[in-house]
Amino acid sequence: MAGEDDKFEVYEDKAGEYRWRRFAKNGQQVGRSTEGYKKKSDAEANMKRGAKAGDKLEVYKDKAGEYRWRRTASNGQVVGASSEGYKKKSDCEANAERLS
C-alpha cells in the first residue's frame, strides 16, 4: 500500500481547534485537514476515514498551474487536501493514493 510508512499528527491550531497532517517517510508533509475540530477525537476520525468513506477525490490545477487533490464528503464539505502542488498529474495522483 502506498504511504504505509507515512506518519499522522494531530495538533491544536492557534484557534484552539484540532487538525491533522500527514508526513511521508522523508518528513515532507503530504496531506492535511482543511478544517479544525473542537474535539480531538473528531479530527482523528476525519484523519482515518480515507477513501473508504465514499468521499469524492478530485485532482485539479491550481492558479499556479500545478496539480492538487482534495477530498470532499457527501455533504459537499472539503475534508482533506494536498499540502503542495505537483508539476505532474501522475505525481499528484500518487500522493492522493496515500489515502486509500
Task: Give pLDDT tens digits for 53-76.
Answer: 678 889 999 999 999 999 888 888
Task: Give the domain ranges of the chain.
Answer: 7-99
Q: Which long-range contacts (CB under 8 A, 24 or more apart) does 25-30 make?
A: 29/83, 29/84, 30/3, 30/6, 30/82, 30/83, 30/84, 30/95, 30/98
Q: What does the pLDDT read at residue 65? A: 96
Tell whether domain 7-99 is in CATH 2.30.29.80.
yes
Could you give the percent of the chain with pLDDT greater than 90? 38
pLDDT tops 60 at residue 1: no
pTM: 0.66
Is the pLDDT at 92 greater than 50? The verdict is yes
Query: Residue 3 above 70 pLDDT?
Result: no
Residue 72, CB-side half-sphere exposure with 13 Å CA sphere = 10
> What is the tens place of the pLDDT at every residue in 29-48?
888 888 899 999 999 888 87
